[in-house]
Amino acid sequence: MNKILFLFTFFLTLNVQSQKLISGKITYVNESNIESVLEGVSVYWEDLSYGATSDFSGNYSIPSSASSNKLIFKFIGFKQDTIEIGDNKKYNHLMVVDNSQLDEVVVNKRKKTIQKSYFKTQNIINVSSDELLKAACCNISESFETNPSIDVSYSNAVTGVKQVKMLGLESPYLLITEENIPMIRGASQVYGLSFIPGTWVESMQITKGSGSVVNGFESISGQINVELKKPYSDNPLSVNVYSNNMGRNEINIHGNKKFNDKLSSGIYLHANKNSSINDNNNDGFLDQPTSKAFNLFNRWQYINPEKGTVSFLGVRYMKDDKVIGENTKDMVTIAPWKGEINTSRFDSNFKFGYVNASIPYQSLGLQMAFSKHDQNSFFGSRNYNINQNSFYSNIIYNSIIGNTLNKIKVGLNYSYDDFDELVDKNNFFTRIDKSIGGFFEYSYDSMDAISLVAGIRYDIHNNLGSFFTPRLHMRYQPYEKSVIRLSLGSGRKASNIFSENQNIFATGREIKRNNVLGKFYGLDPEKAFNYGISLRQGFFINNREGDITFDYYVTDFDNQVVVDWETQGELSFYNLNGKSFSKSLQIDLEYQILDNVLFKSTFKNYDVKKQYNSGFKQNPLTPKNRFFTNIEASTNENENGSKWKLDFTYNWIGNQRLPSHTSLIDFKGSSPSYNLINSQITRVFSNKFEIYIGGENIGGYTQKNPVLGGDDPFGTNFDTSLIYAPIHGALFYVGLRFNN
């Protein structure tokens, strides 16, 4: 603790030079004669080599120069401008298209729904709310179908829950945050993504690699951060209604009110229900659970620009009930295999930020969050209950060293988790995790060739011990449309073996683990190193812009909790005794075919292996190769805002190794490859109203015999966990959106 306080005090008292900061917003007039923001504009002083670039919102900031008062704005396809800077601190600038370049370059500034930056040091993908609209997106777990960086699959044949993977690793190795507050972890690991309605989301940031030390030590393969809509900027009223052919009906209503220029509040309501009995493969089990859910969120936002403060207060309650199991409609069985998963969750959070109006590069932020998560469930004759109470706080101070090229972040985290579990009727587990940590992060931000982010944190954990977590990200930009990124970092986590692997309970497998009363079920904590490289090259073909990206990441485990499905009728948990790694190669191609047609294609290769008791093997149910193609098109927008939008997504999923099971003997150890097609058509009538229709798995491909041993669901050969493909056939949906 003394070390952390020393570091915190030391960096708070750094002698930071006070410079005047010039800032503003850069815009241009698009083809619809509407003023829009412009990202990536180079801003620099006439006599200096360093400068800044405008961000996603068109904002820039640059320290004043003692030797020059001429500021240059430069961006390909636009006229280079030079303006003289006086005593003001804020200069907004309108860029003008350079018509002399139009024969060489077609500048199309139609804002992309998935954005990658040449100027960010970390490998971050920004996903806008418009991208989420391209899928049905009832919730976040269903929002990645059009995003090639995240893999989506079903975790078992009865619960209907989708799981996500990144860099070949399951979601527990991802840090999933809500506005940079850890959100999906512990008890909420399996179902948590489905508890965040897609209409509530303003944007998402997907970070590949170990991420930032600011957000904790648990990130191993990357981070998904979800930004929710803000009452101040969201529509006063929004309604989204959805229905599909499987019987799921859903409604989302947002209501926001501005009480004055500073105070706003919003109420967000989500409800869904599915009472239809679906057994399209006639295996006697429901393809999807019958369910009902209710989610209510109240959010307050206070902004005081004069004092440089902003704060948020949010309170949310969620209840979700699912019924799974055999289709008893035409059954005469006395004791059918049935189950229920009943979850309730309450959480609240408070965020406060202060920016020094006279020294805008100095800021202070505070985050606090509390959650209470209760799940009571049974699967046939098996029970699983988990209760988790959590508290999280984070204080962060931002400043510079000398000038705004050299930025620092320093702060403290505290987290508390209280777990209470019941497993299979008579096994009780309780645990309290407490940790406090301090972090320091230095970043060198430059529009020149090199930038970097280097961070280290020190944590004291009552069960994990005391440890350092180093992380480093570097960016090198040899040319204007070329960028190379490197990352290196470590992460560690406690494995919550039951909450993270709840598909075990929908099987007859016997659970085997170390019979030791250890802090983590008799198992050691997991620790891994992640390192990777990303290469991105922009190009122009036929006067249209495109880019190609190569990402290669490796995750090496020092220790891992091995989840062993290799023996039929058993599931074993044990510490790694040997090697375990995940190697991920992803190649992305993006090209603007026409002004309103964007083409994206991705190839992914995974080499994910670990040492099992039975040998060194490829991870089961992980495709070695995947191929993805997406085409996004729209018509030109009319004066009243009306237009058509089309989205088409094709996925090819390669072979997957299957654990041994007598019912899978025909596959000879691996699943067949298959194709998936999703599509959506949207008719926009105005900026207030639109309707959409779409389909998922339009080809209707399904896994044969997804429920193994279904003729004896209470026997040891019963297994619903070995899922490599969709369970249900084609899904079609229709919906409407209204904004006012």
What are the tens digits of pLDDT across the range 338-375? Answer: 999 999 999 999 999 998 877 778 899 999 999 999 99
Beta bridge partners of 303: 310
Kindly state whether residues 94 and 187 are assigned to the same domain: no
Q: What is the mean pLDDT of residues 310-332?
A: 90
Kindly state whether residues 127 and 62 are assigned to the same domain: no
Confidence at residue 4, expressed as pLDDT on a 0 to 100 scale: 43
pLDDT band at 623 (very low <50, low <70, confident <90, very high): very high
109 in a domain, yes or no? Answer: no
Q: Classify 85 in phi/psi space as left (phi over 0), alpha (psi -120 to 50) or beta.
A: beta
* Among 361, 362, 355, 359, residue whose Cα is nearest residue 305: 355
Beta bridge partners of 384: 377, 423
> What stretches of 494-543 adopt beta strand conformation (E)?
510-512, 526-541
Q: What is the mean pLDDT of residues 622-634?
A: 97
Kindly state whether residues 169 and 228 are assigned to the same domain: yes
Kindly state whether residues 21 and 129 are assigned to the same domain: no
229 in a domain, yes or no? Answer: yes
Confidence at residue 518, expressed as pLDDT on a 0 to 100 scale: 62
Residue numbers of the domain that contains 406: 114-739
Asked if pLDDT for residue 289 goes beyond 50, the answer is yes
Kindly state whether residues 159 and 11 are assigned to the same domain: no
Confidence at residue 503, expressed as pLDDT on a 0 to 100 scale: 95
Confidence at residue 665, expressed as pLDDT on a 0 to 100 scale: 58
Kindly state whether residues 521 and 614 are assigned to the same domain: yes
* Among 166, 162, 220, 165, residue whose Cα is nearest residue 191: 162
Q: What is the mean pLDDT of residues 475-495?
A: 94
495 in a domain, yes or no? Answer: yes
Kindly state whether residues 73 and 141 are assigned to the same domain: no
Q: What is the mean pLDDT of residues 639-659?
A: 94
Kindly state whether residues 91 and 122 are assigned to the same domain: no
**Range in 63-72, 103-112, 542-551, 563-572 the model is least confident about:** 103-112
685 in a domain, yes or no? Answer: yes
| Last-in-domain residue among 34, 66, 101 | 101
525-559: per-residue pLDDT in tens? 999 999 999 999 999 998 889 999 999 999 999 99
Confidence at residue 12, expressed as pLDDT on a 0 to 100 scale: 39
35 in a domain, yes or no? Answer: yes
Q: How far apart are CA 64 and CA 9, in angstroms?
A: 29
Portion of the chain with pLDDT greater than 90, in percent = 69
**Range in 20-29, 270-279, 648-657, 723-732 the model is least confident about:** 20-29
Q: What is the mean pLDDT of residues 243-272?
A: 96
Confidence at residue 143, expressed as pLDDT on a 0 to 100 scale: 87
Asked if pLDDT for residue 109 goes beyond 60, the answer is no
Query: pLDDT higher for 557 or 86?
Result: 557
47 in a domain, yes or no? Answer: yes
pLDDT band at 6 (very low <50, low <70, confident <90, very high): very low
Asked if pLDDT for residue 101 goes beyond 60, the answer is no
Residue 93 sits in a domain whose CATH number is 2.60.40.1120
**Structural domains in the chain (count):** 2
Portion of the chain with pLDDT greater than 70, in percent = 92
Q: Classify residue 331 as exposed, middle or buried by CB count within 10 Å of its CB (0-12, 13-18, 19+).
A: exposed
Q: What is the mean pLDDT of residues 399-425?
A: 94
214-236: per-residue pLDDT in tens? 999 999 999 999 999 999 989 99
Asked if pLDDT for residue 114 goes beyond 90, the answer is no
Kindly state whether residues 66 and 173 are assigned to the same domain: no
| Last-in-domain residue among 101, 122, 146 | 101
Mean pLDDT of the chain: 89
Q: How far apart are CA 617 and CA 468, in angstroms?
A: 31
164-179: per-residue pLDDT in tens? 999 999 999 999 999 9
Confidence at residue 46, expressed as pLDDT on a 0 to 100 scale: 81
107 in a domain, yes or no? Answer: no
Residue 138 in tokens: 């009832």
Asked if pLDDT for residue 137 goes beyond 70, the answer is no
Asked if pLDDT for residue 68 goes beyond 90, the answer is no
139 DSSP 8-state letter: B
Which amino acid type is present at position 432? I
Kindly state whether residues 37 and 119 are assigned to the same domain: no
Residue 362 sits in a domain whose CATH number is 2.40.170.20
Count Cβ atoms below 10 Å from residue 200 Cβ, excluding itself: 25
Query: pLDDT higher for 245 or 129?
Result: 245
- What sign does the CA torsion over 273, 276, 280, 283 have? positive
Kindly state whether residues 145 and 34 are assigned to the same domain: no
619 DSSP 8-state letter: P
Return the half-sphere exposure (C-beta side, CA atoms, 13 A cut-off) of residue 577. Answer: 9
Kindly state whether residues 651 and 607 are assigned to the same domain: yes
Q: How far apart are CA 369 and CA 373, in angstroms?
A: 13
pLDDT band at 7 (very low <50, low <70, confident <90, very high): very low
3-state secondary structure of 187: helix
Asked if pLDDT for residue 286 goes beyond 80, the answer is yes
108 in a domain, yes or no? Answer: no
Q: Note the pTM of the prediction, 2 decimals.
A: 0.87
| Last-in-domain residue among 101, 132, 147 | 101
Asked if pLDDT for residue 10 goes beyond 70, the answer is no
